[in-house]
Amino acid sequence: MKRDFAVGLLTGLALALSAVRLPARVLEPQQQFGGGQARTANLVFDYPSGEEARVEVVLLHAEAIYERVDSLMDGALPSPVHVTLVSTGLSGSTSEGIVLSLQQGRHVEPFLARALVNLAGREIVGDVYELEGYRFFVEGLAAWVGEPYEHGLGSLEPRWLRAAYAYMEEATYLEYLEVYSRASEELGKNVVNAVGYTFVAHLIEHHGWAGVTSLLQAMTGNSEICGALDDAGFDCFALWASWQLALEAESARHDFTLLPEILADLEMGGEGETREVSLRVFIRNPETDDYLFFVAYEIDGERVEESFPADSGDFEARVPLGAIPVGTKVLWEVAVWSRTVQAWRRNGWQDGTIR
């Protein structure tokens, strides 16, 4: 859906920092897909049976978040938006709707906000959303809009620091916000999203929310983001240059060589229809104190997150995953927090099939 944008949307920026509660909702007892259905004015939730209590938590601010995002995106959200709530797995969005994981407990608000922005972004820019640079921009915009809801998630990594780290690693061609997929595999999606987030923050700082909406409108007729910036009335290369200077200034304040290096892969043994599987983890850590490393893995849609102690310096361990049937797909990610740099080092989500 292509939308005409009003230039005077600076009031949307103020709306971004406020969340008017509109909790009107209806829980319907009828069974659907083995569960039930809940509705607000603009959202329809399908949820599994036995999850009524957690669904009530999701509904507290869901409509207010929808209204906020729709105001910021100039009415681009469809109505109703269908949201599938799942007990396990990851949150996300597609052109068909939103999947929201109830594993987030009371902290689903930022995930819902991000998913709604991604959905609105797809509606606005159309097919060019699939271009890596544009998807990167919309992901960063989604993270920016969702940030006010993240206060309940505890301490967060500084986004400018993470973006500067990605810049120093040269995992992205910052001139065009490209190779999103490769960068997210190498550094972790959260780190790479921070690069898109900081570009959005930089754009808003210099050009206001109207600059964001003008750029989204210009994207619909361009195959690359620098052309869209020019069509939106910006000096593309001047904007990139000022943004890179900001990243360079941030990165100069940190020694990223102190961040750990992580390698992790599956080890399998046994015969027959199952294999005994372990995750072999090797960490090279310049820091001298003992530390924790965190492992997340997903098997048949069931996600597990665990933490383990590690001795100071280089460390090697095997994390048993159990007996897994041949042909099963396993996803995993390992993360270490650097006390010195105050940032996470992730190896990024990887996957393998049990053979």
Write out the H or E segment, with its range, that includes residue 29. strand 26-32
pLDDT (average), residues 196-216: 92
281 pLDDT above the threshold of 50: yes
Tokens 């669904």: give the residue: 55
Where residue 41 falls among pLDDT bands split at 50, 70, 90? very high
DSSP at 340:
T
Please tell me whether residue 193 adopts helix, strand or coil conformation: helix
CATH 2.60.40.1180 fits 258-353, yes or no: no
Higher pLDDT: 97 or 322? It is 322
Average pLDDT of the segment spanning 228-246? 90
Question: For residue 23, is pLDDT > 60?
Answer: no
pTM for this model (two decimals): 0.72
pLDDT score of 268: 93
Q: Domain 10-251 carries which CATH code?
A: 1.10.390
* Domain boundaries defined on the chain: 10-251, 258-353
pLDDT at site 152: 59
Beta bridge partners of 229: none
Residue 223 has pLDDT above 70, yes or no: yes
Q: Six-digit token pair at 104?
A: 């987030």
- pLDDT tens string 131-159: 767 887 888 899 899 988 876 555 567 88
Q: Name the token pair of 9.
A: 């949307």
Position 7 scores a pLDDT of 28
Contact between 278 and 295 (Cβ < 8 Å): no
Please state, in angstroms and as integers, the Cα–Cα distance from residue 31 to each residue in 25, 43, 89, 145, following that order.
17, 18, 22, 34
Longest dimension (CA), the chain: 66
Order of strands, sheet of 43-48, starting from the edge strand that comes earlier in the sequence: 26-32, 35-39, 43-48, 81-86, 97-101, 92-94
As a whole number of angstroms, the distance between CA 40 and CA 81 comes to 10
Residue 209 has what pLDDT? 93
State the pLDDT at residue 173.
53
